[in-house]
């Protein structure tokens, strides 16, 4: 049923704007999610970081664009046009290891929730300990990949709020898309967590953040 996420004979996801051009949809969605992200950052962090909060973030960022905002891809969703879509299996081109499949999605999210609860949402840790644990949380979210679209932006906002609750600023604007993709592939496809740990070490370290900002401004 995954084809029902798209307009018939099209590579464009169904959207509330009726946009049929993928590039135009991408631009419109990017603009709207950026605006919603600004508003969401003003909200206080939750008392519990769980699947429900992840769905809330996704809905807040994408409700202006997609009917299924806040609904995970393993759950059948019926559009206003009467068609039903779900996508229990997802594997990007070039990936050997797929993202979580079917019921595994909810199990992984529940496991992550239990882990965060047991670790008091990573509060009370040194910055280095927080960065290392945050890298593991991000990798777990990345593998769960619970939504048909918008996982990256949702995951980053979840991590920003987790950092806020723990007293640490996480600034994803300091890293390139290429570095994030590399770290994610290394962690998930090659069981190598070090690039992701290094990434979070950089974006939670005040002095390194200043250096990264200066470097990016000169690119």
pLDDT digit string (tens) for 40-50? 999 999 999 99
* Nearest Cα residue to 136 out of 176, 185, 54, 194: 194
Question: pLDDT per residue over 36-73, tens digit each?
Answer: 999 999 999 999 999 999 999 999 999 999 999 999 99
pLDDT of 134 > 60? The answer is yes
The owner of tokens 């595994």 is 104
At 139, which CATH number? Answer: 1.10.3290.10
CA gap 197, 194 in Å, rounded: 5
Which region among 31-40, 103-112, 198-207 has the lowest average model confidence (pLDDT)?
Answer: 198-207
pLDDT at residue 159, rounded to an integer: 98
Strands (DSSP E) contained in 159-218 are none
- Residue with the two structure tokens 């464009």: 12
The HSE-up count of residue 182 (CA atoms within 13 Å, CB side) is 10
- Any residues with CB less than 8 A from the CB of 96 and at least 6 apart, and which? 189
What digits encode the pLDDT tens for the residues 163-198?
999 999 999 988 989 999 999 999 999 999 999 999
What's the domain count of the chain?
Answer: 1
- Give the phi and the psi of residue 13 in degrees, each rounded to 5: -65, 140
pLDDT recorded at residue 206: 67
pLDDT at 172: 93
Q: Angle of helix 22-41 relative to helix 151-166, nearest 10 degrees?
A: 10
Residues in the chain: 219
What pTM did the predictor assign? 0.92
**Residues contacting residue 65 through CB under 8 Å, at least 6 positions apart:** 15, 16, 17, 25, 28, 29, 32, 33
Q: Which domain holds residue 183?
A: 2-217
The band of 213, judged by pLDDT with boundaries at 50, 70 and 90, is low
């Amino acid at each position: 049923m995954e084809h029902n996420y798209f307009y018939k004979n099209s590579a464009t996801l169904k959207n509330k704007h009726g946009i049929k051009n993928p590039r135009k949809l991408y631009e419109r969605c990017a603009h709207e999610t950026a605006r919603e992200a600004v508003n969401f950052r003003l909200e206080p962090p939750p008392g519990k970081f769980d699947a429900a909060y992840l769905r809330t973030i996704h809905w807040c960022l994408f409700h202006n664009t997609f009917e299924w905002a806040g609904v995970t891809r393993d759950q059948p969703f019926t559009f206003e046009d009467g068609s039903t879509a779900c996508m229990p299996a997802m594997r990007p081109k070039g990936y050997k290891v797929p993202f979580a499949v079917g019921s595994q999605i909810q199990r992984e999210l529940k496991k992550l929730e239990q882990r965060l609860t047991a670790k008091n949402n990573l509060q009370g840790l040194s910055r280095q300990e927080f960065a290392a644990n945050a890298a593991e949380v991000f990798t777990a979210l990345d593998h769960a990949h619970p939504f048909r679209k918008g996982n990256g932006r949702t995951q980053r906002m979840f991590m920003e709020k987790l950092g806020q609750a723990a007293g640490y600023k996480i600034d994803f604007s300091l890293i390139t898309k290429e570095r994030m993709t590399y770290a994610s592939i290394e962690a998930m496809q090659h069981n190598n967590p070090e690039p992701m740990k290094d990434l979070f070490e950089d974006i939670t370290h005040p002095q390194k953040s200043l250096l990264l900002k200066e470097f990016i401004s000169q690119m």
